[in-house]
Amino acid sequence: MIHKQVVNHRQIAWMVGSVLLTGMLISFFRSVTEIAKMDAWFSQVLPVGYAMLVAYVLAEMTRAYPGKNMFEIIFIVFGKWAGGVVNFVLLLYFWIILTLEIKGATKFFHATLLPQTPVEITLLVLVLMIMYYGKTSLEVAARVNEMYFPVFFLLAMAMYVMLSNEYSIERLEPILNTSLTRIFISNFMTVGIYGDILLFGAFLHASTQSRLFFAALKHGILIVGFVATILLSILLGVMGYTIASRLNFPLFILIQQIHFTDFLDRVEIVLFSIWFPAFAIKVIVTYLAFLVGLGSFGGQANYTVFNFPAGWFIIAASLFAFRCIPDLDEFLSYSLPPIVLILQIPLLLVLYIKSRMSRKESEQACIQEGTKLYRFYRYCVWLGRIAMTASVLTIIIGSLLLNKSKMGGIITAICYVVFFFLALLASYAEMQALNHGKQKLSRKKKPGSFRQ
């Protein structure tokens, strides 16, 4: 079961979008707007960079240990006993993510859509659903996600048009008037969300090409960063930071402000029907990563044997965790980021060094050097790097030099969004170039010699 999973680059990018974005939309925006105020929409650039670094290390691990997942690599690097301790800590971390998302979702359902339904019933139904997917593999979740995430992405980007009659840019002004310290803290808070990218380390065996795997992860991360930036700017432009920072579910209240006609004023139900399947994919991917970690201890290639006991353990743990939404928000905003950094940075540093040392042969390139496609690929890589660096510099320069000028703040904000969008386009072009080169090389091989 564990070695038969094959997921393509597009599925990986869209799953990253579901894993990192959908859980962020429940209540996390409240804490960010409370700290950074009207400049909360600048809170995505540094965590995007951090998630890219994690993705790069995961790609290096794929290159050094092909066919192995992160838990197996940890046993190889650290040994049986020390590796067992490290994997146990990782399982605790995945358990925290699962508990956060499941309890947050059930609290959200109870407060907004199902007030008469006991929280325990909603939690039980949600866990039974992920237990059903726990009998399958990542491929199934990836195919389901392909049906919902593109629609969810398009609806999120269309929010500005749907709320154009309620939007006022004056609620964002003065732009970059918040101190750099508060903007940095808001970026630090968001690291806890983007740290979930480590979940894909449990599925490294599903990738057969490290460069394409990294490009797909990077594209998915930039999708999340750009969409979250746009949604935060819409939230602040419609409600202002004062109201947004006092609501438990600010984005849900924002969607309730959409009114097309007198006959179509419950648009939140339609959008919820698209958001929930994409959110369910996040929980399913986390649960599958948890099962893969459990299977690594018993040497079980078929991790589904742990599905039933693990599911009931998650139910029991979630019932007693985070009694109310403010407790969950405080943990997600202030406790999870240091946990992520303390756990991930030393671990990834060791794994990166060992992966670089263990590379005996260079991986076969997706694109032949010297070709037009290779030059285009390198151009996209450098364009993405320059655009992300320019986004960070735009915030710093705008905050230090132009925060007293209204027009300067507007120009700075436009440059920031343009650079972020350029980085997103460059990542997509990079991913497509690598995939096109891989397909061209595969066609040159003899029939039956290509392993997908």
| Residue that wins the pLDDT comparison between 449 and 174 | 174
* CA 9 – CA 13 distance, rounded (Å): 6
Per-residue pLDDT tens digits for 177-188: 888 889 999 999
**pLDDT of 263:** 60
Who's near 313: CB < 8 A, 6+ residues apart? none
Higher pLDDT, 263 or 333: 333
CA distance 19 to 224: 9
Region of 179 (left: φ > 0; alpha: ψ -120 to 50; beta: rest) is beta
Q: Give the pLDDT of residue 175.
A: 83
CB atoms within 10 A of CB 166: 14
Average pLDDT, the chain: 85
Q: How confident is the model at residue 8 (pLDDT cuts 50, 70, 90)?
A: confident
> Among candidates 3, 1, 12, which has minimal Cα distance to 59?
12
Could you give the 3-state DSSP secondary structure of residue 173? Answer: coil
Is pLDDT larger for residue 263 or for residue 236? 236
Type of residue found at 63: R
* Cis upstream peptide for 447 (omega within 30°): no
More confidently predicted of 223 and 168 = 223
Distance CA 303, CA 283 (A): 17
Distance CA 71, CA 89 (A): 11
Burial 233-268 (b: 16+ CB within 10 A, else e): bbbbbbbbbebbbebbbbbbbbbeebeeeeeeeebb
Number of H helices, E strands in the chain: 17, 0
d(CA 111, CA 353) in angstroms, rounded, equals 47
Contact 54, 198 (CB under 8 A): yes
| For range 102-130, the mean pLDDT | 87
DSSP state of 22: T
What DSSP line would sit under 120-163, residue for residue? HHHHHHHHHHHHHHHTS-HHHHHHHHHHHHHHHHHHHHTHHHHT
In the numeric block, the tokens 């099962």 are attached to 291
pLDDT higher than threshold 80 for residue 267: no
**pLDDT tier, 451 (very low <50, low <70, confident <90, very high otherwise):** very low
Mean pLDDT of the 2-19 span: 80
pLDDT one-digit tens code per residue, 86-110:
999 999 999 999 998 898 888 888 8
Reduced to 3 states, what is the DSSP secondary structure of residue 264? Answer: strand
CATH of 9-363, one of 2.70.98.90, 1.20.1560.10, 3.40.50.970, 1.20.1740.10: 1.20.1740.10
pLDDT band at 46 (very low <50, low <70, confident <90, very high): very high
